[in-house]
């Protein structure tokens, strides 16, 4: 779970740009608002218009993503398939920066992070596990549905956790030398 949270923070940093994410200490996390996240969540996933999201609705986009990433159709995602999917979605300059910094292959990291049975590939259940766990955490009353209030509370908590991790990362970054007078 720690690796998945780390991956989420890295993805967030990539999406917002490191400069804006690592703004001034104590700032609210730029670009993140729980109410906006909730609105997008409900808009995109409440496909039956019921006012809440079921687990099946929440997993549908993941099922589609699994199918697109599993390019050979064998019901498994390999590090090569995951790496190709990553490279197709990330700007070339980010890939270059990752290589220059000696960062591990994103496809290998993906498989290592999700491969629960350690067979070197990710099956559908392993792929869906983080989404199922997130949904279960969001569905605070356990009724099998996530409503607007539950989603907002979940996104507020997630934002707070991410902010804490960003603060920890900020503290680990080298500080610029103080300006001489």
Count of structural domains within the chain? 1
What are the backbone dihedrals phi and psi of residue 54, each rounded to the nearest 5 degrees, phi first? -85, 165
Alpha-carbon gap, residue 117 to 123, rounded angstroms: 10
**9 within some domain:** no
**10 within some domain:** no
Count other Cβ atoms within 10 Å, centred on residue 163.
Answer: 16
Find the CATH number of the domain harbouring 114: 1.10.238.10
Using only C-alpha atoms, what is the Rg of the chain?
18
**126 within some domain:** yes
Residue 119 has pLDDT above 90, yes or no: yes
**79 within some domain:** yes
| pLDDT one-digit tens code per residue, 52-66 | 999 999 999 999 999
Global pTM value = 0.70
Tell me which residue range forms the domain holding 112.
31-161
| pLDDT one-digit tens code per residue, 135-148 | 999 999 999 999 99
**134 within some domain:** yes
**In this structure, are residues 54 and 144 in contact, taking their beta carbons and an 8 Å threshold?**
yes
Alpha-carbon gap, residue 100 to 173, rounded angstroms: 18
Alpha-carbon gap, residue 88 to 94, rounded angstroms: 12
Residue 5 has pLDDT above 60, yes or no: no
């Amino acid at each position: 779970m720690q690796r998945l949270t780390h991956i989420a923070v890295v993805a967030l940093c990539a999406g917002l740009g490191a400069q804006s994410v690592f703004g001034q200490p104590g700032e609210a996390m730029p670009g993140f608002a729980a109410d906006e996240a909730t609105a997008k969540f409900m808009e995109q996933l409440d496909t039956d218009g019921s006012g809440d999201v079921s687990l099946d609705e929440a997993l549908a986009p993941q099922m589609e993503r699994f199918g697109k990433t599993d390019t050979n159709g064998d019901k498994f995602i390999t590090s090569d398939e995951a790496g190709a999917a990553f490279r197709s979605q990330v700007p070339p300059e980010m890939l270059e920066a990752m290589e220059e910094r000696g960062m591990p292959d994103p496809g290998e990291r993906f498989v290592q992070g999700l491969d629960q049975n350690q067979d070197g590939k990710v099956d559908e259940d392993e792929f869906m596990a983080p989404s199922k766990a997130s949904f279960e955490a969001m569905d605070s009353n356990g009724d099998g549905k996530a409503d607007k209030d539950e989603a907002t509370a979940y996104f507020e908590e997630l934002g707070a956790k991410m902010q804490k991790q960003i603060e920890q990362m900020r503290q680990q970054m080298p500080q610029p030398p103080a300006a001489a007078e």
